DNA sequence: CCCATTGTACGAGAGCTGTCGTAATTCTAC
DNA sequence: GTAGAATTACGACAGCTCTCGTACAATGGG
């Protein structure tokens, strides 16, 4: 069998996605980071392409939370598992939600980076 | 003393508000309900005006989570504690986030209500 | 002062969450 | 078939979360 259908992954249907679950999935820093990378870098990435500060087991856990809450879809291709945002489903169910969360995360990242630049040089003197 | 200053409540400053914390605060059904009621019914409501399906202790807990994450502000007036959304701070930090979450919650509420109407009368529990 | 109203604090318990390490599974390449 | 790479599954653990009940504090009116 050359098909990848042997390993099917459970996804919630569009109707089963709940806004509370989506918000909860996005409220973890690691998962938010995954989603931001998916949104910015590519539509579909293998899990191994993410450089996360946790073990593989923990990564698997976070990807599963994202998938089971309806934020991402996953499928196998060879030994790799590719992940992509369920942009269409989310935009249909909750228009603008994903974009504003991603925008908020970007703004916060910029703000925190700027804070670090203004804080550090004076006191600590350590910079990247 | 007629002042209400005796009981001060700790709030995060605008700069301390984190998007992960806001999303986590909004990911609980009870808290999302509180926020929706604050957004729709009034700008400032006493805690006792919320008809929540939990005990007073639990309500206090949820209001504290919302306050400490920066979603709401609270102050005392007499024996009452009034709560209001920090709309300005949130809109400045995360433009559009609060609105899209509230919109998503409204859409989902309508959708679930419609599903219940089409599910129940016809088959009374059997669905494809 | 006493009391009703309103909300807090504290302690507790059940359950979920994030994390890890190790063992197992699936696919590709030889 | 064998080896290797990518990922999952399982069991375990500490910590957090949601919930409650009871006891306590602050305000306003008699």
B72 beta partners: B85
* Interface test mutation site (partner A, options B18, B19, B69, B95, max chain A beta carbons within 10 A): B19
3-class DSSP assignment, residue A72: strand
Q: What is the pLDDT of residues A75-122, one digit of tens each?
A: 888 778 889 999 999 999 999 999 999 999 999 999 988 887 776 555
Q: Please report, rounded to whole angstroms, the spatial distance between the CA atom of protein residue B4 and the C1' atom of nucleotide D22.
A: 27
Other CB atoms closer than 10 Å to residue A111's CB: what's the count? Answer: 12
Secondary structure element (H or E) that encloses residue B74, with its range: strand B72-77
pLDDT band at B78 (very low <50, low <70, confident <90, very high): confident
At A124 the pLDDT is 46
At B23 the pLDDT is 97
Give the one of B19, B96, B107 whose C-beta lies nearest to A94's C-beta: B107
Residues 6 or more apart from B39 whose CB is under 8 A from it? B85, B98, B102
At A102 the pLDDT is 96
Q: What is the pLDDT of residues A47-59, one digit of tens each?
A: 777 888 999 899 9
Count how many Cα atoms sit within 13 Å of the Cα of residue A117 in the half-sphere of its side chain.
7
> Is B101 at the interface with chain A, CB within 8 A?
yes
What's the length of chain A? 128
Q: Is the C-beta of residue A79 closer than 7 Å to nucleic acid chain C?
A: yes
| B105 contact residues in A (CB cutoff 8 A) | 19
A23-59 core/surface letters (b: 16 or more CB in 10 A; e: else): bbbbbbebbbbbbbbbbeeeebbebeebebeeeeeeb
Q: Is the C-beta of residue A93 closer than 7 Å to nucleic acid chain D?
A: no
């Amino acid at each position: 069998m050359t098909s990848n259908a042997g390993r099917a992954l459970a996804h919630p249907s569009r109707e089963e996605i709940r806004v509370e679950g989506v918000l909860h999935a996005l409220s973890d820093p690691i998962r938010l980071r995954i989603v931001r990378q998916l949104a910015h870098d590519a539509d579909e990435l293998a899990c191994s392409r993410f450089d996360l500060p946790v073990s593989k087991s923990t990564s698997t856990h976070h990807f599963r939370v994202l998938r089971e809450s309806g934020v991402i879809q996953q499928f196998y291709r060879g030994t790799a598992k590719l992940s992509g945002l369920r942009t269409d489903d989310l935009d249909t169910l909750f228009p603008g939600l994903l974009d504003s969360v991603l925008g908020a995360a970007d703004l916060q990242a910029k703000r925190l980076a700027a804070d670090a630049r203004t804080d550090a040089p004076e006191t600590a003197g350590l910079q990247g």
